[in-house]
A and B are shown apart, each in its own frame.
Chain A
C-alpha cells in the first residue's frame, strides 16, 4: 500500500497551467526525490499535494483517503507537513515560538516533543530565545525543518531544503534529512542538488514541463546517461 499516491494532477495559477497530469507514489518510510529543470513544476507539485495550489484535475490520496485540494491547515491533522523553499520561518518570533507554532494544532503538552526536536537539531537548542530573523541561513533551514517536525509527521514534503546554502551546510542538511527519515518519516524531496538527493533516495522522479519524464530507483537514475547529461552536469 502506498502512503501517498498522486495521480494525474493538473494544477496551476489562474489561467497558467503548470502541471499537466503528474503522478507520483511514496511508500512508508521512503525518501522520494523529484528532480527537473527550473520551471518544470517541482515546487508547484508539492504545493498542489499540500492544498496550497488546489489541483484542478487528478487525485491526491494519503493512506487511502482522498485529500485532494484539502486546505493546508487541515492537511497537518492528517500527518503531512510541508516546508516551503523560502520564507519558511517566522522571523519576528523567537526560535522557541516558531516551534510552538509548528505544534499549533496540539492542545496537549508538547514539551517532550520540543526537547526531542532540539536534540535532533542541536544547533537550535542554544538559541531558543533568539529571534528567528537573527539566525544564519543554515540555522534558518534547520528551524524550518524543526517547525515541520513538531507534529511528528508521517510524511514530510521538503521544497529544496539546500537552496542557497554553502556546500558544507548542504551536506549537514542532507544528513539531518536522512536522520529524520531513519526515525520513520517518509519524505518527498524536491531538489536542485540532484546528485546528493538521489544518492539518499529510494526512488526518484524526473519532471519536465509539468509532466513525468522518468522514474526509477535513486541509484539507477544516477547511472542513467540521459539524467547524467541533463541534470547531473555531465
Chain B
C-alpha cells in the first residue's frame, strides 16, 4: 500500500522534475548568451495563447474522446468576430478607442470579450446538438468524429473568407513602445496583458475543476463516462459544459492571437492547430495541466527557433516536437501508463 503510493508520487515527481531541468537548461543557455532571453520570454507569451487552445482541446479529448480539428478555426472565428465588433459595430455606436493604458488596443476590447464568448459558446453547443450529438448517438468511431470536425473546420474557414475576404486585417491599434528589461529583453506591453489574462483563466479553470460540483463531474466523466452515468451524472450536460469552456478559451485565445500577431488572417487558427495538438500530445492527451506545460514548451521552442530559422518554420518545429514525443514517450510528459 505504501509502496504503491510512493511509486505514484515518484512518477508524478519525475514528470515535474524533467520539466524543471528543461527550464534550467534553457535559462542557462540564455545566460551564456547561446540563445536570446528575449525569445524565451516572448515564447512564453505565445505559449500562453497556445495553452488556451490546447487546454480546451485536451478537455474535449478527455470527455468526448475525439480530436476536435475545428478548434483552431474556432479561435479564428473568435478573432474575426472581434474584428466585426471593434472595427464595425462598436465604432458605429460610438464605442471607439485605441491605446488603452500602455496597450495598443482600446477599452472596447474588454466589452468585446463577453459578446464573443457568448457567440462562440452558442456555436459550439449548436454544432454539438446539430452534428456531433447525432453522430455520438449512432456510436460512430472517433475517426469519423474527427473527420467531421475537419469538415466543420473547412466550413468555418470558408465562411470567414466569404465574409471578410482573404486579405490581412488588424484590430484598431496604436503603436506603443516596448518595455525594456535587463539582458536586452524587450516585451510589447500587450504581451503582459496576454500573459496575465492567460494566468487568470488557467487559475479560474483550476478552481472550477477542483472546487465545483460540475467541475468534478467533468473530471469524473473524463475518467470514465459509463461510471459517471451510473453515478447519476447527466453526461450530456457535462459535454455541454465542456464545449462551453473550450469555446470560451478558444474565443479568448483567438482574440489574443490577433493582438499578439497584430494581424488577422483566415488561416491563423489553422496554422496554430499543429502547435495545439503538439502541446496536447506533449502534455499527455486529456490532461489540461499537461496541455498548459506542453504549450509553454512549444511556444518557447518555436520562438527560440527563429534565432536560427525563418519564422515560417515555427509550425514545423511544433510538428517535430509532436513526432519526437510520439516516438519516444507517446503518453506525454504527464501521461500515466494505461
Interface residues of A (CB under 8 A from B): 50, 52, 71-73, 76-77, 81-82, 84, 87-93, 97, 100-102, 104-105, 130-131, 133-136, 139, 147, 151
CB <8 Å contact, A104 and B230: no
Neighbouring A residues of B222 by C-beta, 8 Å: 92
Given A90-B220, A90-B224, A93-B216, are A101 and B231 neighbors across the interface (CB < 8 Å)? Answer: yes
CB <8 Å contact, A101 and B228: yes
CB <8 Å contact, B227 and A76: no
Q: Which of B4, B213, B230 contacts A82 (CB 8 A)?
A: B230
Shortest C-beta distance, A162 to chain B (Å), equals: 19
Shortest C-beta distance, A198 to chain B (Å), equals: 26
- A76, A97, A134, A139 pick with most chain B CB within 10 angstroms: A134
Given A100-B216, A131-B8, are A92 and B223 neighbors across the interface (CB < 8 Å)? Answer: yes
Q: How far is the CA of A54 from the CA of B213 in the complex (A)?
A: 29
Shortest C-beta distance, A49 to chain B (Å), equals: 12
Q: How far is the CA of A84 from the CA of B233 in the complex (A)?
A: 16
Neighbouring A residues of B4 by C-beta, 8 Å: 134-136
Q: Which of B8, B213, B224 contacts A104 (CB 8 A)?
A: B213
Chain B, range 222-251, C-beta contacts under 8 Å to A = 222-224, 226-235
CB <8 Å contact, B232 and A52: no
Neighbouring A residues of B231 by C-beta, 8 Å: 73, 76, 101-102, 104, 147
Neighbouring A residues of B1 by C-beta, 8 Å: 136, 139
Neighbouring A residues of B152 by C-beta, 8 Å: none
Shortest C-beta distance, A230 to chain B (Å), equals: 31
Given A87-B224, A133-B8, A136-B4, are A52 and B219 neighbors across the interface (CB < 8 Å)? Answer: no
Interface residues of B (CB under 8 A from A): 1, 4-5, 8, 213, 216-217, 219-220, 222-224, 226-235, 336
CB <8 Å contact, B227 and A73: no
Question: Count the A-B residue pairs with Cβ separation under 8 angstroms: how many?
Answer: 74
Given A133-B336, A136-B4, are A50 and B216 neighbors across the interface (CB < 8 Å)? Answer: no
CB <8 Å contact, A73 and B229: yes
Neighbouring A residues of B235 by C-beta, 8 Å: 73
Top 5 A-B pairs ranked by shortest CB distance? A76-B232, A105-B232, A134-B8, A90-B223, A72-B229
CB <8 Å contact, B216 and A97: yes
Given A131-B8, A136-B1, A136-B4, are A73 and B223 neighbors across the interface (CB < 8 Å)? Answer: no
Besides A52-B226, A87-B226, A97-B216, 6 other A-B contacts (C-beta < 8 A) = A90-B223, A90-B224, A100-B216, A101-B220, A102-B231, A104-B233
Q: How far is the CA of A105 from the CA of B231 in the complex (A)?
A: 8
CB <8 Å contact, A90 and B232: no
Shortest C-beta distance, B10 to chain A (Å), equals: 11
CB <8 Å contact, B232 and A134: no
Shortest C-beta distance, B219 to chain A (Å), equals: 6
Neighbouring A residues of B226 by C-beta, 8 Å: 52, 84, 87
Q: How far is the CA of A81 from the CA of B234 in the complex (A)?
A: 15
Q: How far is the CA of A131 from the CA of B219 in the complex (A)?
A: 13
CB <8 Å contact, A134 and B229: no
The residue in chain A whose Cβ has the minimal distance to the Cβ of B235 is A73
Shortest C-beta distance, A71 to chain B (Å), equals: 7
Q: Which of B5, B8, B220, B336 contacts A93 (CB 8 A)?
A: B220
